[in-house]
Structure 1
Amino acid sequence: MNSTPELRSPTPRSSRSSRVVVIGAGIVGCSLADELTARGWNDVTVLEQGPLPAPGGSTSHAPGLVFQTSPSRTLTAFARYTVEKFSSLEADGVRCFAPVGGLELATTPERLADLRRKAGWAASWGVRGEVVSAARCKELWPLIDESTVLGGFHTPDDGLARALPACRAQMDRAVARGARFLDRHTVTGIEREGGRVTGVVTDRGAFPADHVVSAAGFWGPVVGRMAGVDVPLQPLAHQYARTRPLPELSGATAEASKPILRFQDRDLYFREHGDRIGIGSYAHRPLPVDPFAVPPYDEARARRMDMPSSYPFTEEDWAPSWEDCRRLLPALRGSAVEEGFNGVFSFTPDGMPVLGESSALRGFWLAEAVWVTHSAGVARAVAEWMVDGRPSLDVHECDLTRFEEAQRSPAYVRERGAQQFAEVYDVLHPLQPPEQPRPLRVSPFHARQQQLGAYFLEGGGWERPHWYEANAPLVDALGPLPARDAWSARHWSPVAAAEARATREGVALYDMTPLRRLEVTGPGALAFLDRMTTNNLRKKPGAVTYTLLLDETGGIRSDLTVARLAPDRFQIGANSPADLDWLLRHAPGGGGGGEVHIRDITSGTCCIGVWGPLARDLVQPLTPDDFSHEAFGYFRVKRTYIGHVPVTAMRLSYVGELGWELYTTADLGLRLWDTLWEAGRELGAVAAGRSAFDSLRLEKGYRAWGVDMTDEHDPFEAGVGFAVRMDKEDFTGKAALRRRAGESARRLTPLLLDDPAAVVLGKEPVHLPALGSARAGGAPAGYVTSASYGYTLGRCVAYAWLPAGLATGTGVHIEYFGEKVPATVADEPLFDPKMTRIRR
């Protein structure tokens, strides 16, 4: 049920067909032309600098492996659609997809455990797969040395995408609907006027356009520069080789008959080419390619390169991988590499595609860093976005607005892109931080946090303490904690339990600086924000309101806290750069002044959360204002002082305890920390990190946007309907909510694990025993969004998307590394349901 997105019918952006120019006729450009024309936008021109049908980009040499399963539900959905669509296509009598299956091998216990985790993702996202024995691996791939293998993960619906035939098939369909494809047209400029794109200039003429889509692959940064748009993409070369004919494969009549094979413990993959084997390696050093130095097609041929994306094979990088290949596949010991090349692919700082319309140039779209695996799914999403105004699938992980300005420097993109290459097949923990460049962004309290032994992880470029070793002595007072398995024990410490307890029983300081802050001012600010959000913002200055940003279909784009500081001044707590982009797109005059002015104030400010039953005892002696409950109620805001520091104090709590968020300017942040820390000594105040924070917020059932809820969900099924005022004047998404009232079959559901020692981490499939067990192959009823051990409750708390109407007390099973973990549907909030601890 929850593995497949609930598709909606968005309000069309325009009833007429727009003029579209797509730059690049690789697999993404061809797929996009097909998807756009299928939706009635037939004035589509695809420009390609190389010769068709094999223009020389990454598509022309892609090995075509399609493994659908990913930790990202979005990427998995993209890949599932690619398989579905290409399976229905044919060119010159050749099917565009060969469903030979996929097989991932484990040669270490750690990899075998990871494959069990991957099998959980597959079940959650609706992909068939199972962990199999070494003997079964040998049956599926007779050439492997069974003695080196512990087991594998078999996905029967994976296979080989034939990229060039798929391009031709989709090109033919698009042309039949009115599109045109022009090769040997090199783009030299992007025309614009009044902040909008107006056309594309080539060496063979200009093409007017209402929309321009850069699907140029590793040339994306080159096209982006012409448009004045950053494209955070790093091309890297990747080794691929073909062996000589193998006697063991002689007589092969099919291109491939065995599953595509991954040997991830050595960063290798394999596929058949008739009686030869193709081998790809990520084991070598990163080989960055300057996109501005890539030669055009004809110049590449003059340099004896097969195509611009095919660089000479570097034997010295290949040698260690060849030895690994020969150990796994003994048949290769008497063979050799017949041909090889270093093929160029695109990598982003986080390994995800870059999609969406640029805020710097309206009408200029990116569909970049997309591999063949996800190509059709990406094209469908971008086409829906352009025609209907939004994709039917949540794509926030791929949205081009997700990167902070500090993450867009060429140096950052280069370093993180190279790291993504090196980690393609690594076993990565969901909390594992990147290594470089760090530290990049730090709060004003960073030096004090280091002194306290903070264990830092990273998010959005920020160093974020997850716990403090200075609090280790507090662990002894807790009593024994349940032992953790090796996986859940990574990036975790029992100190987090001590910090959670200190918050529940005393007072703790939390660094909330990385949370995004926006300022909205001007005479039209109230009317604008009230129209854009779901809750009632027409309150007197001093009020704080929890509210939602919806799209036109009623999907949750974000959740916000809006503080009214003055009649025409608001401070907003937001989630990501996409929130700023959304507001700027809809603000009168673009939010740059006049009636409404919007700006991001995050970098110039900082915030400390002071939470716990002793929070008032800490802050009241430091301020001239009355912080009593009567004088400073919950969800109120005041401008005041803490010692010498001017602050904006908001009576909010994301951990379910009495307290305040204290904001000040970055230059005064360290003074604010020191003032609170010194005053808190006699109260036993501690610094606490994100690990305790996540535990406490889940005990209260507070949602995390982008994890627990996205624009695929409406407020009522996500459990945040209390933030919607259907009786207020019109707001974005109101009409859609009225149409959808009561029709959802799913709910975000709280679960408590039955075993006090059990832990899950998120993305695991959830089974209802009555609907079939995991071991019996029954489809999951849903999946876990986020989870954390609830130290106050003595149980792990998990939230999951499950069928609506499950009664409290219903038993379920969460599949964790292949084991069924019993859990029970619970009432929420699980902790302090009457809110007595916050409102006192």
Structure 2
Amino acid sequence: MNAVLPHGPRVVVIGAGIVGCSLADELTARGWTDVTVLDQGPLPAPGGSTSHAPGLVFRTGPSRTLTAFAAYTVEKFGALEADGLPCFTPVGGLELATTPERWADLHRKAGFAASWGIHAELVGPARCKELWPLLDESKVLGGLYTPDDGLARAVPACRAQRERARARGARFLDRHTVTGIERDGGRVTAVVTDRGTFPADHVVSAAGFWGPVIGRMAGVDVPLLPLAHQYAKTAPLPELAGANDPRTEASRPILRFQDRDLYFREHTDRIGIGSYAHRPLPVDPFTVPAYDDAKDMPSSYPFTPEDFAPSWEDCRGLLPALKDTEITEGFNGVFSFTPDGMPVLGEARALRGFWLAEAVWVTHSAGVAKAVAEWMVDGRPSLDLHECELTRFEDAQRSPAYVAERGARQFVEVYDVIHPLQPMDRPRPLRVSPFHARQQELGAVFLEGGGWERPHWYEANAPLAEGIDLPGRDAWAARHWSPVAAAEARATRERVALYDMTPLRRLEVAGPGSLAFLQRMTSNNLAKKPGAVTYTLLLDEAGGIRSDLTVARLAPDLFQVGANSPADLDWLLRHAPDDVHLRDITSGTCCVGVWGPLARALVQPLTRDDFSHEAFGYFKARQTCIGHVPVTAMRLSYVGELGWELYTSADLGLRLWDTLWEAGQEHGVIAAGRSAFNSLRLEKGYRAWGHDMTTEHHPHEAGVGFAVRMNKGDFVGRSALEALGGPDAPGRPARRLTPLLLDDPSAVVLGKEPVYVDGAPAGYVTSASYGYTLGRCVAYAWLPPLETGAGVHIEYFGEKVPATVAEEPLFDPEMTRIRR
């Protein structure tokens, strides 16, 4: 009803900091002009994190999404003016390396920059000194220079966007303290303040570290922890006298000294210093004083010199000019940290119309606002946001204790060199499968995902690795890896292995409307007899891939769905009619993957049912018993070998494992981990959602067009795919998910590296692993369409590694090993 109004729905934004002002600007630019922005403090600087933010904008990092957010912030603020000056100053950024590990990591970061389209260059100590003359270049091994990064003037940017939004009809009301959120029938209806009630069709919490306070009013968990971060300024330095315009304050690059958790920026003739080197200083958002009760402002806590003392010595060692000066002012400024360091965005299903735009720093503010505005107005953001969606956290990751512990750890690790497989230290173990005790007995080396302990290899298999000729690995690729993975992959190809698939999310969909519902929500045809399993896709209205699923029809009105994340359940629940019942059954169940050429020889004697290929074909399911254990058996394989996924209840899981283990001894059964699994699945070209494909990709370009049945009737995303036409239709994006084989058998890449075509960056690697069967590293990358056999180069820590476009699947293209 509201969409037909000329001014759009009524929107109330809570928080007039950089996110709230940016969002009001983005919404009104899209025609939603009935926008009210409320804040408890006075404008223009109401006292949240924006009011004291140092304004650093470094765009490059391992997250493509955060990089895109930051790039838009630079683009937008660079075009905004306040007081006759741009709201962004491109002074550049310089990240220093003072250790070999950091210098290597800067090479990796330069690769990220090339992958995401950011101009960056690695420079030597002399160039670092030229860019920052106060440096002691003898301490520096090199640096990463990003000339287009710089400083956002956050408060002026707020003012410029407020003025534009006001001109379109928005209003900004300061000195309004939110006291409640009204709702009716599961929808938000109004925001209550100490100065009146504001009816609303949509409410956006952009309250920064007050997010948990607003969330509690709405009955919505906001998993963030406010922490104080030290910022100090030196006395005026003679070396900077006359160097900078007082209006713009800075001309030299923002300086990062990450080996000591420090950063520096100029303030005319002084230097500002930010430190993450101190102990975590958590802040309870429910006890933060009101603006008028705060000594300075609510987000600014008293400086603690004793915490800064070690950092001050590090500063003076790097910048000798500081030895003759002192710190003249400082404060502990409050920022928000989440358990994984990413923002929290999206609409709460429990309270429709209530949105979160939280844990957002100035760096990403304009990009986040654009994405949320697109989401609200158009129904979907143009950028993949799965890393940021509020639905991404498991229930086990939402407890206050978990949020506090992991949020504090994110602060500690903010400048650390983090390996993509590096597991968190605590709290572990949090979630374990019923097989955990047996895995420990076999020497499992556990990494972690979604709170689950996930074996990556088993030291019990180390003797099997003896004699396997493998190329050496560099120190980075050797982390969280073992040659045992090669032995486990070989045993899977030659004999049989047990894989713990318990962390695979399982949903139960039941009820008289379940088939029609799943047909509407997914891309493939599920109207098959009970016992059929179907690979299908969850698409959004634009045809982007929200997830990929395996759907087993166990009875006419009962389905088991293999999904990827809590967001899948959330998406389905948002659309489910009353005659469909959905529940997540993951925690109460478990799964063993039994795969390998001897899988049937292992399983068949344990059941009275016929497990022959003729009686139990590929992509079929049945409920049976394995020994004393009732199971749902599905003939699926993510490793390209004969086998089954065997599901049972958690209480019977250990018995199932022991039954299979004992029966498998005569067949040389082993337990195998995720490292071997990932290698085997890439040899078969099986996609991993969230890595190889996201909402930004359509099925045909991602190589999963076979999971779309345009003739089955209407489904979400069908109209968009129809408009795009077939995989080679004119106007389709000129890119494909492309399989690559590295030419050098000893070379390895890990993912997110840039891929060069004809000497220029043309795409990036999504997934990679050494293919132990093939004897080469396999990489998948988003690239322009290329002919099989075409040569490309992948940049790995600054080296250009040659690779060749391959035909997929790389292993067993006739599928003879699975279908036997």
- Sort the TM-score into its range (normalised by shorter chain): over 0.9
Task: Work out the CA distance in 2 between the residues paired with 1:534 and 1:238.
Answer: 47
The CA deviation at 1:94 is 2.4
Correspondence 1:698 to 2:688: no
Which amino acid in structure 2 is aligned with residue 493 of structure 1?
A: S
In the alignment, what sits opposite 1:175?
Answer: 166
Correspondence 1:188 to 2:179: yes
Task: Work out the CA distance in 1 between the residues paired with 2:594 and 2:646.
Answer: 8
Contact 2:755/2:792 (CA < 8 Å) preserved in 1? yes
In the alignment, what sits opposite 2:34?
Answer: 43
Q: Look up the SS of the partner of 2:273 in the other structure.
A: strand
The CA deviation at 1:658 is 0.1
In the alignment, what sits opposite 1:795?
Answer: 776
In the alignment, what sits opposite 1:64?
Answer: 55
Task: Work out the CA distance in 2 between the residues paired with 1:314 and 1:360.
Answer: 41
In the alignment, what sits opposite 1:277?
Answer: 271
Task: Work out the CA distance in 2 between the residues paired with 1:398 and 1:78.
Answer: 11
Mapping for residues 280-679 of structure 1, pairs under 5 Å: 280-300=274-294, 305-478=295-468, 480-589=469-578, 595-679=579-663
Contact 1:31/1:375 (CA < 8 Å) preserved in 2? yes
The CA deviation at 1:253 is 3.5
Identity %, equivalent residues: 83
Contact 1:548/1:723 (CA < 8 Å) preserved in 2? yes
Task: Work out the CA distance in 2 between the residues paired with 1:251 and 1:103.
Answer: 22
Deviations 1:291-318 (A, max 9, x none): 0010010011xxxx21100000011100
Task: Work out the CA distance in 2 between the residues paired with 1:216 and 1:707.
Answer: 31
Contact 1:13/1:386 (CA < 8 Å) preserved in 2? no
Task: Work out the CA distance in 2 between the residues paired with 1:70 and 1:19.
Answer: 36
The equivalent position to 1:807 in structure 2, one of 777, 784, 787, is 787
The CA deviation at 1:744 is 2.5
Which amino acid in structure 1 is aligned with residue 510 of structure 2?
A: T
How many residues align? The count is 810
After the TM superposition, which parts of structure 1 deviate over 4 Å for at least 4 consecutive aligned residues? 12-16
Task: Work out the CA distance in 2 between the residues paired with 1:650 and 1:801.
Answer: 32
Q: Look up the SS of the partner of 1:391 in the other structure.
A: coil
In the alignment, what sits opposite 2:708?
Answer: 724
Which amino acid in structure 1 is aligned with residue 405 of structure 2?
A: E
Task: Work out the CA distance in 2 between the residues paired with 1:131 and 1:701.
Answer: 34
Deviations 1:259-311 (A, max 9, x none): 000000000000000000000000000000000010010011xxxx2110000
Task: Work out the CA distance in 2 between the residues paired with 1:783 and 1:95.
Answer: 33
Contact 1:467/1:691 (CA < 8 Å) preserved in 2? yes
Which amino acid in structure 2 is aligned with residue 729 of structure 1?
A: G
Contact 2:432/2:453 (CA < 8 Å) preserved in 1? yes
Which amino acid in structure 2 is aligned with residue 170 of structure 1?
A: Q
The CA deviation at 1:435 is 0.7
Contact 2:3/2:9 (CA < 8 Å) preserved in 1? no
TM value normalised by structure 1:
0.96
In the alignment, what sits opposite 1:90?
Answer: 81
Task: Work out the CA distance in 1 between the residues paired with 2:568 and 2:285.
Answer: 31
Contact 1:14/1:388 (CA < 8 Å) preserved in 2? no
Q: Look up the SS of the partner of 1:375 in the other structure.
A: helix
In the alignment, what sits opposite 2:102?
Answer: 111
Which amino acid in structure 1 is aligned with residue 811 of structure 2?
A: F
The CA deviation at 1:14 is 6.7
Deviations 1:113-156 (A, max 9, x none): 00000000000001100110010000000000000000000000
Task: Work out the CA distance in 2 between the residues paired with 1:540 and 1:418.
Answer: 51
Q: Look up the SS of the partner of 1:325 in the other structure.
A: helix
The CA deviation at 1:557 is 0.4
Q: Look up the SS of the partner of 1:750 in the other structure.
A: strand
Which amino acid in structure 1 is aligned with residue 75 of structure 2?
A: E
Query: Which range moves more in the overlay, 484-493 or 86-95?
Result: 86-95
Contact 1:64/1:162 (CA < 8 Å) preserved in 2? yes
The equivalent position to 2:156 in structure 1, one of 146, 160, 165, is 165
In the alignment, what sits opposite 1:825?
Answer: 805
Contact 2:187/2:353 (CA < 8 Å) preserved in 1? yes
Correspondence 1:680 to 2:664: yes
Task: Work out the CA distance in 2 between the residues paired with 1:67 and 1:328.
Answer: 21
Which amino acid in structure 2 is aligned with residue 284 of structure 1?
A: H
Task: Work out the CA distance in 2 between the residues paired with 1:619 and 1:130.
Answer: 56
The equivalent position to 1:102 in structure 2, one of 89, 93, 105, is 93
Correspondence 1:156 to 2:175: no
Contact 1:37/1:179 (CA < 8 Å) preserved in 2? yes
Task: Work out the CA distance in 1 between the residues paired with 2:251 and 2:204.
Answer: 37
Deviations 1:749-788 (A, max 9, x none): 000000000000000000012xxx2xxxx3x111000000
Contact 1:13/1:388 (CA < 8 Å) preserved in 2? no
Task: Work out the CA distance in 1 between the residues paired with 2:285 and 2:607.
Answer: 57
TM value normalised by structure 2:
0.98
CA RMSD of aligned residues (A): 0.8
Which amino acid in structure 2 is aligned with residue 60 of structure 1?
A: S
Which amino acid in structure 1 is aligned with residue 774 of structure 2?
A: L
Contact 2:122/2:144 (CA < 8 Å) preserved in 1? yes
Q: Look up the SS of the partner of 2:794 in the other structure.
A: strand
In the alignment, what sits opposite 1:5?
Answer: none
Correspondence 1:224 to 2:220: no
The equivalent position to 1:762 in structure 2, one of 740, 747, 751, is 751
In the alignment, what sits opposite 1:247?
Answer: 238
The CA deviation at 1:814 is 0.2
Which amino acid in structure 2 is aligned with residue 236 of structure 1?
A: L
Task: Work out the CA distance in 2 between the residues paired with 1:253 and 1:788.
Answer: 49
Query: Which range moves more in the overlay, 741-750 or 484-493?
Result: 741-750
The CA deviation at 1:740 is 1.1
The CA deviation at 1:13 is 7.4
The CA deviation at 1:728 is 1.1
